[in-house]
Amino acid sequence: MRVFRLLGFRYLRVRAAIIVVVVSVSMLSTTTATILNGFYKCYTGYLGEAADIVALYDSGSSTPFTGLIPSRLADYISSIDGVLAFSMEVLAPCMIYDKPMIARGVYMDDFLKLTSIDIIYGSIPSLDSYPYALAGFRAASRLGIRPGVKLLVLGVLSDRYCEVRVEAVYRSDTALDDELIVPIDVGRWLRGIGYDYATLFRVRIDGSRLSLEGFTDRLASMIGVVDGSDRSESKPPRYTYISTSIGSIGISTIRGFMERYIESYGLTWWTITLLSLSTIIFSSLTVIVAFKILVEEHRFELSILRSLGLSMLDVRIDVFLKIMPYIVLSSLIGSILALALVELMEYYDTLRILSYTVSVSFDPIILLASIVSNMILAMISIAWGRMG
């Protein structure tokens, strides 16, 4: 391979400006892709990632917080063979210290069977009835609270309020870290619903004994028998979507539950990938111009190589091989800067969307995509440039 023998011939001077272009473009594409990826993962993993947990929800609601299903489902669920544990939950938008938050009403014992949380400060209270609260560490940091603090929580969808005492601060490394966990009744007051409703159920099923379809069939047959028998337990207040029709209860994996909501707003995995790619496409011309300048600046050296008998292809391959390490290094630096920027955004609380912090993590595929895209763009500009 004649072209590799040219590698020792050092004629290429890469301007700092060209490296800065690649660094900044990589930073932009990595920042966008990392945030969008984090956003998608954060919301689809909102209720956890476990494959053996299914969610029961109101399929007629447009957000995960506004649907309602009857609490009486708890009796049916508990009687199904193959159900290992379940948690009835109420999600309530609320205001605390003038900040929008989400309070999750749960039966603590049931909730802990399905969710793993690490207590950072304080301890888990023993009684469900007492108006206590457990604060996710991000929520606690945003509100500036620690165990022992009394919080006045104001309902947004209801004209109710509640004073709760913060008993613990926890960490779960999920979207729960932005929430306040309260007893289920407190959640109901803040959501403005009666004691016979909940927002959703999470159910852990034993996969060896019961499939999702089997669970759905069993539940449907049980509910079908008693549908409409006890609808008038309490009069629901305003701003409440009441799901009395059994047909409107959705059952899916917990991941599918959230995917359904965010996809209804156009945020599919494909649109997120497309949005990430668009930053690369839209900044591509800048990278092409940068490498075109590099080639233009070396037209004299390249013409000497041509006159020494090297073909156009050999010269192009040689230029490409010589700039490859710069591309890799610049893309790497750009990605590191992007991660630093994202960390900074997280630190300054600007990565919060719909009350949840988008937790971002380094994804090697994004870095690889950044390097590969920059290489392709360099190839295009080298192929386009005049080689002497």
| Residues from 243 through 282 that contact another protein (CB under 8 A) | 263-266, 268, 271, 274, 278-279, 281-282
Of residues 112-151, those binding another protein (CB under 8 A): 129-131, 150-151
The interface region with another protein, picked from 41-49, 198-206, 231-239, 315-323 by CB under 8 A, is: 231-239
Q: Which of 206, 230, 296, 343 binds another protein (CB under 8 A)?
A: 296
Residue 122 or 131 with smaller CB distance to another protein: 131
> In degrees rounded to 5, what are phi and psi of residue 332?
-65, -45
Which residues contact residue 180 at a Cβ distance below 8 angstroms, ignoring those fewer than 6 apart? 94, 96, 101, 102, 103, 104, 133, 134, 135, 136, 139, 151, 153, 164
Of residues 148-167, those binding another protein (CB under 8 A): 150-152, 154-163
Residue 219 or 351 with smaller CB distance to another protein: 351
Minimal distance, residue 302 CB to another protein, in Å: 16
Q: Which two tokens stand for residue 321?
A: 């091989």
Q: Which of 32, 115, 276, 374 binds another protein (CB under 8 A)?
A: 32
Ramachandran bin of 112, using left for φ above 0, alpha for ψ from -120 to 50, beta for the remaining angles: alpha
At CA 128, angle to CA 125 and CA 130, rounded to 5?
80
Is the distance from CB of 103 to CB of 136 less than 8 angstroms? no
Q: How many residues bind another protein (CB under 8 A)?
A: 75
Of residues 56-115, those binding another protein (CB under 8 A): 93, 95, 98-100
Is the distance from CB of 166 to CB of 122 less than 8 angstroms? yes
Counting every residue written for the chain, the total comes to 388
Q: Does 193 bind another protein (CB under 8 A)?
A: yes
Q: Which of 74, 242, 293, 332 binds another protein (CB under 8 A)?
A: 293
Q: Does 12 bind another protein (CB under 8 A)?
A: no
Minimal distance, residue 298 CB to another protein, in Å: 12
Minimal distance, residue 356 CB to another protein, in Å: 9
Of residues 355-384, those binding another protein (CB under 8 A): 355
Residue 20 or 321 with smaller CB distance to another protein: 20
Which residues contact residue 300 at a Cβ distance below 8 angstroms, ignoring those fewer than 6 apart? 388
Task: Check the CA dihedral 234-235-240-244 and report its sign.
Answer: positive
Q: Which of 63, 79, 116, 350 binds another protein (CB under 8 A)?
A: 350
> Quick one: which of 195, 200, 194, 197 has its CA closest to 57?
200
Residue 101 or 169 with smaller CB distance to another protein: 101
Q: Does 41 bind another protein (CB under 8 A)?
A: no
Is the distance from CB of 387 to CB of 315 less than 8 angstroms? yes
Q: Which two tokens stand for residue 108?
A: 């603590």
The interface region with another protein, picked from 12-20, 48-56, 76-84, 222-230 by CB under 8 A, is: 12-20
Task: Check the CA dihedral 94-55-358-122 and report its sign.
Answer: positive
Cα–Cα dist 297/165, whole Å:
69
CB 344: neighbour CB atoms within 10 A? 11
Q: Which of 52, 297, 301, 363 binds another protein (CB under 8 A)?
A: 297
Q: Which of 31, 37, 71, 87 binds another protein (CB under 8 A)?
A: 31
Query: Which stretch of DSSP H or E encloses residue 220?
Result: helix 212-226
Query: 242 burial class (0-12, 13-18, 19+ CB within 10 angstroms)?
Result: middle
Q: Which of 143, 242, 312, 341 binds another protein (CB under 8 A)?
A: 341
Q: Does 319 bind another protein (CB under 8 A)?
A: no
Residue 281 or 308 with smaller CB distance to another protein: 281
Minimal distance, residue 119 CB to another protein, in Å: 23
Minimal distance, residue 142 CB to another protein, in Å: 11
